[in-house]
Amino acid sequence: MSVPFIDLKSQYNALKSNIDARIQKVLDSGAYINGPEVAELEQKLAAHTGSKYCLAVASGTDALVIPLMALGIGQGDEVITTAFSFIATAETIVLAGATPVYVDIDPKTFNIDPKKIEAAITPKTKAIMPVSLYGQVADMEEINAIAKKHNLFVIEDTAQSYGAKYKDKKSGALTTAAGTSFYPAKPLGCYGDGGAIFTNDENLNKIMKEIREHGSEKRYYHTRLGVNGRLDTIQCAILLAKLERYDWEVEARNKIATNFSTSFAGLEKVDPMFSTPLVKQGNQSVWAQYTVTVTNRDAFQKKCQELGVPTTVHYPMTMPDQPWYAKNTPQRHDITHARWAAQHVISLPMFPDMTAEQQAKVIAAVKTAVEFSVKA
Ligand SMILES: *Cc1c(COP(=O)(O)O)cnc(C)c1O
């Protein structure tokens, strides 16, 4: 039997009675939009991240577009972001009407390299949007210091890092605003699309709440341009059940990651480009992905597949190299490390309910595939 890349069914089975009861309660209540579970979830997520305010929204994409809109970022403005992320990061900046300015990554963490940010700042720069990729928070102290010096907003893309620790704080509570995703395969996922926005700023929260509801202060009275960005009650009910187990899941993911990294020690002697993920001191990753690097990725991936271990490439191209973005938002700065990563990263199966046998199977397959791929 192959190991699944991510096993959402075993997680559902572990939580089935709780999830089913909560969904049934919403079905019986009739409050399918803006039901009491929405506010309950928002309070619990805010408390869990240590953020003052939380707004549940319809997707991770909305969770980034709405803060940009609320901060008045749009036409003629620039937002500095990483070159290496899922396309939604750059997409939201363009949707808001602004221009993404791509900065290279630190090839050890795959997050934006803070040392390269200042060179990308222009009089048009309004904000920095770092991504906490693969589950590890970006170098937020350095990023916040640059933002402060140049009077910029910081919006953390926490789509992959909900619950991750950064020093004594958590992802989402570190910046002007932050947006996360509850897409099913994200560390905290619902059973459809979903997301949440975090901020400590009361006024910004009020504006974002209005934008979420078609820009209305009260019903049928629209004082600003908005969107339909609500998260439905059933998804909130599912997330309330999942949140009860989330801290355990993060621990489980960390144990699996430690087992992988310990078992892969020495593989860099076989493939000099082989590397296991580096988690910086003071960080705790939530392991949205466990991503290694190899020289011959195609051969490595094929061999893993043959051995019953599926893998995925996050991401095969940098954002500014994607066809639409290359044409409309070309990169201005050197992105050598991001392009290198796009050629060499590969993610292994990672989910909290992975059994010891499944982990052993992944480890054995990776060792064999590394040996195989250097000779291919
Ligand atoms: C998933 C993801 C998003 C978008 O979230 P959706 O819920 O799919 O809209 C944004 N940024 C990153 C880094 C992501 O991984």
Per-residue pLDDT of 351-373, as tens digits, reads 999 999 999 999 999 999 999 99
> Ligand 1 centre and the CA of 93: distance in Å?
13
Look at residue 376 and tell me whether its pLDDT is greater than 90: no
Burial of 54 (0-12, 13-18, 19+ CB in 10 A): buried
- Ligand 1 within 6 A of CB of 99: no
198, β-bridge pairs: 54, 178
Sequence-distant (≥ 6) Cβ neighbours of residue 81 within 8 angstroms: 89, 90, 93, 100, 101, 102, 103, 112, 128, 129, 130, 131, 157, 319
Task: Examine domains 8-243 and 247-375 and report if their fold is the same.
Answer: no
The residue count of the chain comes to 376
* CA pair distance 49, 164, nearest whole angstrom: 9
What confidence tier does 108 reach under pLDDT thresholds 50, 70, 90?
very high
Radius of gyration, alpha carbons of the chain = 21
Domain ranges for the chain: 8-243, 247-375
- Ligand 1 within 6 A of CB of 160: yes
Look at residue 69 and tell me whether its pLDDT is greater than 90: yes
Share of the chain above pLDDT 70, in %: 100
Q: Which ligand 1 atom is at minimum distance from the Cα of 288?
A: 15
3-state secondary structure of 354: coil
> Ligand 1 centre and the CA of 85: distance in Å?
9
Sequence-distant (≥ 6) Cβ neighbours of residue 263 within 8 angstroms: 363, 367
Look at residue 105 and tell me whether its pLDDT is greater than 90: yes
Count H helices, E strands: the chain?
11, 14
- Ligand 1 within 6 A of CB of 85: yes
Ligand 1 pocket: which of 84, 160, 181 to mutate (most atoms <8 Å of CB)?
181
| Rounded average pLDDT over 149-161 | 98
CATH 3.40.50.970 for domain 8-243: no
What confidence tier does 1 reach under pLDDT thresholds 50, 70, 90?
confident
> Ligand 1 centre and the CA of 95: distance in Å?
14
What pLDDT sits at residue 177?
Answer: 98
- Ligand 1 within 6 A of CB of 274: no
What global pTM score does this model have?
0.98
* CA pair distance 11, 276, nearest whole angstrom: 26
Look at residue 125 and tell me whether its pLDDT is greater than 90: yes
What pLDDT sits at residue 60?
Answer: 98
Ligand 1 pocket: which of 57, 68, 89 to mutate (most atoms <8 Å of CB)?
89
Share of the chain above pLDDT 90, in %: 99
CATH code linked to domain 247-375: 3.90.1150.10
- The single-letter DSSP state of residue 122 is -
Q: Decide: 217 and 223 in contact? Cβ < 8 Å.
A: yes
> Ligand 1 centre and the CA of 181: distance in Å?
6
φ and ψ of 287, to 5 deg: 55, 55
Angle between helices 356-375 and 297-306 (to 10 degrees): 140
User: For all residues of the chain together, what is the average pLDDT?
Assistant: 98
Q: Tens digit of pLDDT for each residue in 282-309? A: 999 999 999 999 999 999 999 999 999 9
Strand duo 290-293 + 345-348: pairing: antiparallel
